Structure 1
Amino acid sequence: MTLAPEAGPALQEVDPLASEVRRVPPPPRRRAGRFTPLVLLVPGIAVLAAVIGWPLVQLLIMSFQEYGRAQAFGAPAPFNGLDNYIEVLGDEQFWAVLTRSIAFCIVNVALTIVLGTLVALMMTRLNRFFRLLVSVGLLLAWAMPALTATIVWGWLFDTQFGVVNYTLTQLTGIDFMGHSWLIDPVSFFAVATVIVTWGAVPFVAFSLYAGLTQVPGEVLEAAQLDGATSVQRFRLIVFPYLRSIFVVLTILSIIWDMRVFAQIYALQGIGGVREQTSTIGVYIYKTSLGTGEYGIGGATAVILVVILLAVSFFYVRKTIREEEL
């Protein structure tokens, strides 16, 4: 009896060369749309170059020219090198104004960050109704134009009919009616600090409140069970989570408060002494439009831009370092 062969797959001869060819990986394909993000950035970059870049270049050119009223009406502007910068840096009034502006900025930034943090923490503890009420109030304060807010606060601090003088008279028994808050530089900047801080706190409060909602609640509860106080929980848990937000808010507040103009200029019009209360923004305005020395004003503005760029560079460098860690 002959056994049939075992059924199974048929054997085929394999060509070694063909198998080697099949092992060669195909060439990599070019990823479609690789340049799409760059193309999408072109409109934004073009707008920034037109709105910010070109005026900044013109300002830089003007700072190296003898540019006055005649040049504003078409006369040629001769190049004078670094003469404008030498004149500005050699002016004692410029250094006095710059020192005053830096001190004013430090006070405003500190108050804005502290008050904004307290308001944000308060909003996390309020119920829905009161949180909505506080949010509406903050939005109204934030939406009010700086000039309008300054005029309103000027009425509140009015010498004869101001609510502040009347309230202080009723509370202390001392006659404050007729007291001028703007004639003295110290009280002038106290009023200006109230106005600037009042308008800046809402942005800080909303930003920090949004960050506080992302802090893990279970971590805070665990710390509370371990006996950590409110201050310790904020310092050891909340602040590390919100450190990047605090850095951004601090840098933005410095930039905004260093170039504050409308509030100071409006208060000077109400009753302040301009020579003793000008900040760097008002100084640039008076130098340029007040005296017609646009080249001097341009050089002062470039110096301010360099200072603000240095502050921004610190922020960018810190952000890059945090991303690398």
Structure 2
Amino acid sequence: MSEQLTTAPPGVATTAIRRPRRRGGSLAMPYLLLVLPVGLVCLALGYPLVRQFIMSFQEFGLAQQFGQPPEWVGLANYQQVLTDPYFWVVTARSVAFCAVSAGLTMVIGIAFALLLQKVSPVPRVVLQITLVLAWAMPPISALTSYVWLTEPRYGVVNWILTSMGLDGFENFSWLAGNQWTFFGVASTTVVWTSVPLVTLMTYAALNQVDEEVVEASQLDGAGWFARLRHVVLPMIRPVILLVTMLEIIWDLKVFTQINVLQGVAGNNRATNLLGTYVYEVGIGGGEYGIASALATVMLLLVLLLTWRYMRTLMKQGDL
């Protein structure tokens, strides 16, 4: 470390002030530490995204998988996708499924978070452990349980309903019966796996709310619902917006739950969502160019639906 003497008036002793030496390496270290993770993310996500975008302008089928050079077709794949009436049916179905599932997830998750604040410590810990276990359960295991519950002949759901005198549910197939019951079961599985994360994140945000502000609103005569609507929820709004944005992304591109339940029901065309439709066209049909165009349109749809939430978060300085 270098020492510099300060100039002092006559009769006043001078003291040595140590100043740290600025090193260029220390300034560059944070950026160097970011190189590896950013590079891995770009490699894992950037390359497939670029490859998908390029393939969406090519005729890429099974022949290209065996070495034949792909042929550039311009916007032909997009034209075929956007002029296909079935694509718009699947898109509308996916948006509706996303709206219902994400909406139910947010309502139930916030309600559970508020419940966690009201219960005593022991039930709170039990509920938190239960939520974590439900969230950590592999989706295939949860789906297997739902298939058993809704099995036409021996399922618990039909047994309970018929025991209540509802004879119309005897040997009723919830998955192969019609679209509404299929998506009812599918939405239940999606909500089941998503509610724990929403609950825990919302509960963590609620614990950061200033109790003095809530008590002041209570002294002003605000009831419980008024305090929740005008004080508590606005204070945790950034967290709710972030979780809502994540839920929209996850539920719009849901694949595992729909694909597994379709394997049981056997009615793919009537129950396809965008995720399973892209898989069916690409992996099932070998039309990788069209599937890439579908995936690109799906990505643009996700960005369109979540842009409002992203813009709000950026205005608040959270992104």
TM-score by length of 1: 0.87
CA 1:86–1:175 in 2, change beyond 3 Å: closer, same or farther? closer
Is the Cα–Cα contact under 8 Å of residues 84 and 295 in structure 1 kept in the other structure?
Answer: yes
Shift of 1:222: 2.5
Query: Structure 1: where are the runs of 5+ without partners?
Result: 1-10, 13-28
* Alignment partner of 1:98 out of 63, 73, 91: 91
Equivalent positions of 1:1-325 (< 5 A) are 32=24, 33-182=26-175, 183-323=177-317
Aligned positions, number = 299
After superposing on structure 2, the runs of 4+ consecutive aligned residues of structure 1 that deviate more than 6 Å are: none
How far the C-alpha of 1:135 sits from its partner, in A, is 1.0
Residue 260 of structure 1: how far off its partner (Å) = 0.3
For 1:229 and 1:172, locate their aligned partners in 2 and report how far apart those are by CA, in whole Å. 42
Report what 2:16 is aligned to: none
Contact 2:241 2:313 in 1 (8 A): no
User: Which secondary structure state, in structure 1, belongs to the residue aligned with residue 58 of structure 2?
Assistant: coil
Write the distance in 2 (CA, Å) between the matches of 1:59 and 1:289.
14
Contact between 1:158 and 1:180, CA under 8 Å: does it hold in 2?
yes
Q: Write out per-residue CA displacement over residues 109-158 of structure 1, whole angstroms, 9 at most, x where no aligned residue.
A: 11000000000000011111111111111111111122221121111111
Structure 1 counterpart of 2:269, one-letter code: E
State the alpha-carbon separation in 2 of the partners of residues 221 and 35 from structure 1: 48
Q: Could you say if the C-alpha distance between residues 37 and 151 of structure 1 is closer, same or farther in structure 2, counting changes exceeding 3 Å? A: same
Q: Distance in 1 between matches of 2:22 and 2:98?
A: 52
SS in 2 for 1:34: helix
* Displacement after TM superposition at 1:172 (Å): 4.0
What is the CA distance between 1:221 and its match in structure 2? 2.2
Instruction: Give the Å deviation of 1:306.
Output: 1.5
| Closer, same or farther: CA 55–231 of 1 in aligned 2, 3 Å | same
> Aligned equivalents of 2:50 and 2:310: distance in 1?
22
5+ residue gaps, structure 2, are 1-8, 11-20
Q: Report the Cα offset of residue 42 of structure 1.
A: 1.0
Structure 1 counterpart of 2:68, which letter?
Answer: A
* Greater shift in the superposed pair: 278-287 or 37-46: 37-46
**Shift in Å at residue 176 of structure 1?**
2.0
- CA displacement 1:162-210 (0-9 Å, x = unmatched): 1111111223453522011112001111111111001100000000000
CA separation in 2, counterparts of 1:94 and 1:249?
28
Distance in 1 between the 2:37 and 2:110 partners? 33
Tell me if structure 1 keeps the 8 A contact 2:214–2:231: yes
Q: Distance in 2 between matches of 1:171 and 1:241?
A: 45
How far apart are residue 304 of structure 1 and its match? Answer: 0.8
**Greater Cα radius of gyration, structure 1 or 2:** 1
Question: For the Cα contact (< 8 Å) 1:188–1:272, is it kept in 2?
Answer: no
Query: Is residue 184–residue 272 contact of structure 1 (8 Å, CA) maintained in 2?
Result: no
Distance 1:194 1:58 in 2: 35
Q: 2: CA distance between counterparts of 1:46 and 1:312?
A: 26
**Once the 2 structures are TM-superposed, how far is the Cα of residue 64 of structure 1 from its aligned partner?**
0.8
Secondary structure at the counterpart of residue 301 of structure 1: helix
Q: 1 CA distance for matches of 2:215 and 2:308?
A: 35
Superposition deviation, residue 265 in structure 1: 1.0
For residue 18 of structure 2, what is the aligned residue in structure 1?
Answer: none
For residue 323 of structure 1, give the secondary structure of its aligned residue in structure 2. Answer: coil
* RMSD over equivalenced CA pairs, Å: 1.9
Q: For residue 313 of structure 1, report the CA deviation from its aligned partner.
A: 3.9
Separation in 2, partners of 1:37, 1:319: 26
CA shift for structure 1 position 274: 1.1
